């Protein structure tokens, strides 16, 4: 049987430091900080200690609870020497784990709270609590009403609701509820860096992969406000140093520098197909860096006309032409017989760019939050390294990087309304070129969160 050693935060999470009849505990931590592992262990320990207890383990979606939480429960049971059909039973059709002593755990999705309303429970576990609504949390608190058996009293029974989560990107309901001064509400903060069961090189690699704010929230597990102020963090436009172009050693402090175009290098076109303005950016790329040397931003136009403008500017390209951009650009628009990408392909082909054209697109667009985080970590990562560079002539790219903000109090990017654009025409150029450049960055360097274990 496995011998477990708990991390500091896990130990505190399992213990209850007060005598109230109900304990509400949140394990808030970075990626891979041992949240799911300790939640499942706690569920099993409660089942063993309080014979006949009923627990509910929920996550916002059923695949999350089935593929993550339930799997971890079964792994613990195996490691602890429990045998299926001898020490416990798993009823797959009901997603129910039954222990020999009569204790039971239901695994459920929380997206239809109505379906779990009538239960009487002894404990509740919530996986990734930041995805859960506050109303569901309150409803589940009200279900902690299983009759207390006399023998449980002697064992110091307390109802328990416990959950684990990555910090919310902004300070939402979890932050408010768990930062209150109620003695029976506890929040334990665990950093990924404290999980000694992860490899050191993995933990170190996160500093390359994330920007500072993202690191503080998603690795150190701290409360933060990723969605406040400017969308692009860490961008610097410092023109003071003389510049030697693409390999310039002097301007590592600036994301803006002279970026030259080379006809024989791979040329990336990354596209957002908004009609007004159509917004494309042109770049060269190395293994870990991207260099935007030009932008094509045209008001009230078509994909075909924008492509013609590209050909006018770059008629003699001998390297590859790689098309990146909005994954939904392959949907046919009503204005055109072809999809945007088919139009690009045809126009380039008619011009003579045939064998050197490639399309590199995701099957679907990632969540905008992931795209923003991927882009920010390339603008400036925690180690102070910049990997996104923009030439001075990319006026609208720079305008976006310096001005794009979140809507106050939300995690939505503040796209200008028609009314605002009427008052200030410049605003119309916000958002679309940012989308274009961040599609490229997210395609090549998405945020990574997988955690290899120590050998």
Ligand X SMILES: Nc1ncnc2c1ncn2[C@@H]1O[C@H](COP(=O)(O)OP(=O)(O)OP(=O)(O)O)[C@@H](O)[C@H]1O
Q: List contacts with Mg ion (CB under 5 A).
A: 35-36
Per CB under 6 A, 329 contacts ligand X: no
Residue count of the chain: 455
Of 132 and 343, nearer to Mg ion (C-beta) is 132
Shortest Å distance, C-beta 166 to ligand X: 6
Of 199 and 346, nearer to Mg ion (C-beta) is 199
Per CB under 6 A, 76 contacts ligand X: no
Per CB under 6 A, 43 contacts ligand X: no
Choosing from 26, 35, 210, 270, the residue that interacts with ligand X (CB under 6 A) is: 35
Of the candidate spans 195-203, 310-318, 347-355, 356-364, the one that interacts with ligand X by CB under 6 A turns out to be 195-203
Per CB under 6 A, 7 contacts ligand X: yes
Q: Distance between CA atoms of 125 and 73, rounded to whole angstroms? A: 12
| Residue at shortest CB range from Mg ion | 36
Cβ-based neighbours of 156, under 8 Å, separated by 6 or more: none
Per CB under 6 A, 130 contacts ligand X: no
Q: Distance between CA atoms of 427 and 104, rounded to whole angstroms? A: 57
DSSP 405: B
236 binds, among ligand X, Mg ion, none (CB under 5 to 8 A by kind): none
Cβ-based neighbours of 109, under 8 Å, separated by 6 or more: 58, 59, 60, 61, 62, 64, 65
Cβ-based neighbours of 61, under 8 Å, separated by 6 or more: 109, 111
Cβ-based neighbours of 197, under 8 Å, separated by 6 or more: 7, 34, 453, 454
Shortest Å distance, C-beta 114 to ligand X: 27
* Count of residues of this chain found to bind ligand X when the rule CB under 6 A is applied: 18
Per CB under 6 A, 453 contacts ligand X: yes
Count of other CB atoms within 10 angstroms of residue 36: 20
Side by side, the strands of the sheet bearing 123-126 are 88-91, 96-99, 104-109, 54-59, 123-126, 159-165, 22-29, 185-190
Q: In 3D, which of 413, 455, 393, 453 has the Cα closest to residue 34?
A: 453
Per CB under 6 A, 234 contacts ligand X: no
Per CB under 6 A, 34 contacts ligand X: yes
Choosing from 193, 195, 258, 270, the residue that interacts with ligand X (CB under 6 A) is: 195
Per CB under 6 A, 366 contacts ligand X: no
DSSP 46: H
Q: In 3D, which of 401, 429, 414 has the Cα closest to residue 298?
A: 429
Q: Distance between CA atoms of 193 and 38, rounded to whole angstroms? A: 16
Choosing from 9, 13, 28, 31, the residue that interacts with ligand X (CB under 6 A) is: 31
Side by side, the strands of the sheet bearing 290-298 are 357-359, 321-325, 267-272, 278-285, 290-298, 388-390
Of 166 and 376, nearer to ligand X (C-beta) is 166
Shortest Å distance, C-beta 80 to ligand X: 13
Of the candidate spans 32-40, 141-149, 151-159, 290-298, the one that interacts with ligand X by CB under 6 A turns out to be 32-40
In angstroms, the first-to-last Cα distance of the chain is: 20
7 binds, among Mg ion, ligand X, none (CB under 5 to 8 A by kind): ligand X
Per CB under 6 A, 74 contacts ligand X: no
Shortest Å distance, C-beta 184 to ligand X: 24
Shortest Å distance, C-beta 383 to ligand X: 22
Binding residues among 196-225 for ligand X as defined by CB under 6 A: 197-198
Shortest Å distance, C-beta 75 to Mg ion: 13
Of 36 and 146, nearer to Mg ion (C-beta) is 36
∠ CA 313-317-323, rounded to 5°: 85
Which helix (H) or strand (E) segment holds residue 24: the answer is: strand 22-29
Choosing from 13, 25, 32, 47, the residue that interacts with ligand X (CB under 6 A) is: 32
Of 37 and 445, nearer to ligand X (C-beta) is 37
Shortest Å distance, C-beta 92 to ligand X: 23
Per CB under 6 A, 10 contacts ligand X: yes
Per CB under 6 A, 29 contacts ligand X: yes
Contact (CB, 8 A) for 220 and 193:
yes
Shortest Å distance, C-beta 107 to ligand X: 16
Q: Distance between CA atoms of 190 and 166, rounded to whole angstroms? A: 10
Residues that bind ligand X (CB under 6 A): 4-7, 10, 29, 31-37, 195, 197-198, 451, 453
């Amino acid at each position: 049987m496995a011998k477990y050693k708990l991390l500091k935060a896990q130990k505190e999470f399992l213990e209850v430091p007060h005598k109230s009849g109900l304990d509400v505990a949140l394990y808030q931590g970075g990626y891979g900080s041992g949240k799911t592992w300790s939640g499942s262990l706690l569920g099993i320990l409660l089942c063993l200690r309080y014979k006949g207890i009923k627990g509910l383990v929920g996550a916002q979606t059923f695949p999350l609870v089935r593929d993550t939480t339930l799997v971890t429960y079964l792994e613990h049971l195996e490691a602890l020497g429990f045998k299926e059909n001898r020490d416990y039973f798993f009823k797959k059709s009901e997603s129910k784990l039954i222990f020999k002593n009569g204790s039971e755990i239901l695994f459920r999705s929380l997206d239809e709270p109505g379906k779990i309303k009538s239960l009487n429970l002894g404990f509740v576990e919530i996986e990734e609590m930041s995805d859960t609504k506050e109303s569901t949390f309150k409803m589940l608190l009200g279900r902690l009403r299983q009759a207390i058996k006399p023998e449980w009293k002697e064992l110091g029974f307390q109802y328990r609701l416990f959950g684990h989560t990555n910090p919310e990107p902004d300070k939402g309901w979890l932050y408010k509820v768990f930062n209150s001064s109620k003695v029976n509400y506890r929040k334990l903060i665990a950093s990924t860096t404290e999980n000694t069961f992860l490899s050191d090189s993995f933990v170190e690699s996160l500093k390359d992969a994330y920007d500072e704010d993202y690191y503080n929230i998603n690795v150190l597990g701290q409360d933060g406000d990723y969605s406040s102020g400017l969308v692009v963090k860490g961008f610097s436009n410092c023109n003071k140093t003389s510049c030697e172009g693409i390999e310039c050693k002097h301007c590592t402090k600036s994301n803006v520098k002279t970026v030259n175009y080379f006809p024989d290098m791979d040329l990336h076109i990354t596209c957002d197909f908004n009609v007004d303005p159509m917004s494309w950016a042109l770049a060269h790329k190395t293994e870990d860096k991207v260099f935007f040397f030009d932008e094509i931003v045209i008001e009230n136009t078509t994909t075909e006309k924008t492509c013609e403008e590209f050909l006018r500017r770059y008629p003699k390209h001998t390297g590859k032409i790689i098309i990146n951009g909005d994954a939904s650009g392959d949907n046919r628009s009503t204005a055109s017989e072809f999809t945007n990408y088919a139009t690009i392909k045809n126009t380039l082909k008619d011009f003579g760019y045939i064998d050197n054209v490639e399309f590199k697109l995701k099957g679907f667009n990632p969540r905008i939050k992931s795209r923003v985080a991927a882009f920010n970590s390339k603008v400036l990562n925690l180690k102070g390294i910049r990997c996104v560079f923009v030439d001075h002539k990319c006026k609208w790219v720079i305008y976006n990087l310096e001005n794009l903000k979140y809507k106050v109090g939300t995690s939505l990017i503040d796209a200008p309304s028609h009314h605002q654009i009427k008052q200030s025409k410049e605003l119309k150029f916000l958002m679309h070129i940012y989308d274009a450049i961040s599609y490229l960055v997210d395609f090549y360097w998405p945020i990574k969160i997988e955690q290899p274990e120590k050998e």
